[in-house]
Amino acid sequence: MTDRISRFPVPELTDLADDVRERILGVQEKAGFIPNVFLMLAHRPAEFRAFFDYHDALMEKNEGLTKAEREMIVVATSGAGNCLYCVVAHGAVLRIRAKNARVADQLATNYRKAEITERQRAMLDFAMKLSTNGGAVEDADMAVLREHGFDDEAIWDIGAITAFFAMSNRLVHLTGTPPNEPFYLMGRLPKGS
């Protein structure tokens, strides 16, 4: 309800270690602004480094799952997890990566109604089960994914992205970090409009 970036102290860029500041400036250059979650986590540099190393290891790949599919997992599970930051910020990235202005809102509200392939639906069925009732995951769930053509590495990615954003959702719930305003509109307009 406010412009507060975090319930916890937010450091000045000038006070940060060089590697943390550079990572932040890098994303700022790319996005045009600093996503709030970077400033929120900069309060804890060691956790900041581990978080973004982990994030990049999972999200910056195109093998097995496309980058858009990775974002689909984030948006669908974060919608179920009621995480406003993750839904809005990763919804923006998803719209851009999937070149689809509707799919993020669809996945965040009800992934069963989204414009996705059957294979993506199987991917999200698994991710949603792992996210909301993970203790019930069994070998049979893996078998369903294999029938849809996912191999070991792709299945690991589906599961690990789901797990990582179960953490990420809760960090945002802890800190109360809101999405930056530009995320709301990003990827909603046709390229060049």
72 touches a second copy by CB under 8 A: no
In the bound complex, what is the minimum distance in angstroms from residue 163's beta carbon to a second copy? 4
Segment contacting a second copy by CB under 8 A, of 10-18, 19-27, 28-36, 182-190: 182-190
Joined together, the tokens standing for residue 176 give: 């109360």
Task: Output 29 or 54, the one with its CB closest to a second copy.
Answer: 54
Rounded Cα distance between 134 and 187, Å, is 32
Q: How far is CA 188 from CA 33, 140, 184, in A?
A: 18, 38, 9
Joined together, the tokens standing for residue 59 give: 């999200």
Phi-psi region of 28 (alpha: psi -120 to 50; beta: other; left: phi over 0): alpha
Terminal-residue alpha carbon distance, the chain: 31
Please give the residue ranges that form the binding site for a second copy (CB under 8 A).
1, 7-9, 43-44, 46-47, 49-51, 53-54, 57-58, 79, 81-84, 87-88, 101-102, 105-106, 108-110, 112-116, 130-131, 134-139, 142, 152, 155-156, 159-160, 162-164, 166-171, 173-176, 178, 181, 184-185, 188-189
